[in-house]
Structure 1
Amino acid sequence: MRIPTRNGGTAMTERYLLRLFISDHTDRSRCALENLEQICAEELGGRYELEIVDILLDPQAAAREQVFATPTLIRELPHPVRRIVGDLADHEQVLEDLELLPILAKGRD
């Protein structure tokens, strides 16, 4: 399933390809997806493409990407590839670990 990018005017041109591997619709997977959608909306504007991969429906994709635990988020682009495992609740840590550059929102210090 692909979720289209949102149009958010920003001076930053860095675009991200993110792939979230989940296992069915467990509470932890739902939580990770909700957290990721919030991070993307608030921090990345329209500079991302998000693909959701359910490993129960596409086990070959998990094998190709060597995903052994869910939820796993992989930043495919830009290179180098970065990955993080967990529910993505700590938004600042997700931004730091995946080296995602947030947009500069009005009113932020």
Structure 2
Amino acid sequence: MNDSSSTLAALRGPSGKGPYVLRLYIAGNTPQSNRAIENLKKLCENRLRGLYELTIVDLHQMPDAGRDERVICAPTLVKRSPPPVRRLTGDLSNPDRVLRALDIQPETE
């Protein structure tokens, strides 16, 4: 395995998926936006450490940014990669729902 394929394998992780390319669209500095950011960052660090790329887009600062993603409300999480593209709205407070949207199996106890 050459260096580039070993790097790609490391990014994919044990499931063979990834890296996860995520965009979180928010609408300003609101309690719901802040909860969504906090919940998503916590989930990503706990479950996807080193296997994700997260971009946070504030629609108040960039009103046209969500047009291509068909974002109609905020917060909206868009998983761009790996396919298929998925969208999830809300404050992302239900980790199992977010994991299903990202196509990651929840941990079993």
TM-score by length of 2: 0.80
**Residue number in structure 2 paired with 1:83:** 87
TM-score by length of 1: 0.80
Of the two, which has the highest radius of gyration? 2
Query: Once superposed, which parts of structure 1, at least 4 consecutive aligned residues long, lie more than 3 Å away?
Result: 10-13
In structure 1, list runs of 5 or more residues that go unmatched.
1-7
**Residue number in structure 2 paired with 1:21:** 25
- Residues 33-75 of structure 1 deviation map (CA, whole Å, 9 limit, x = unaligned): 0000000000111100000000011111112211110000000
RMSD: 2.2
Q: Percent identity?
A: 40
Q: Which of 56, 60, 75 is the equivalent residue of 1:56? A: 60
Q: Which amino acid aligns with 1:40?
A: C
1:80 and 1:13 map into 2 onto residues whose CA distance is 15
Q: What count of residue pairs does the alignment treat as equivalent?
A: 98
Offset of residue 89 of structure 1:
0.4
In structure 2, list runs of 5 or more residues that go unmatched.
1-10
1:83 and 1:22 map into 2 onto residues whose CA distance is 13
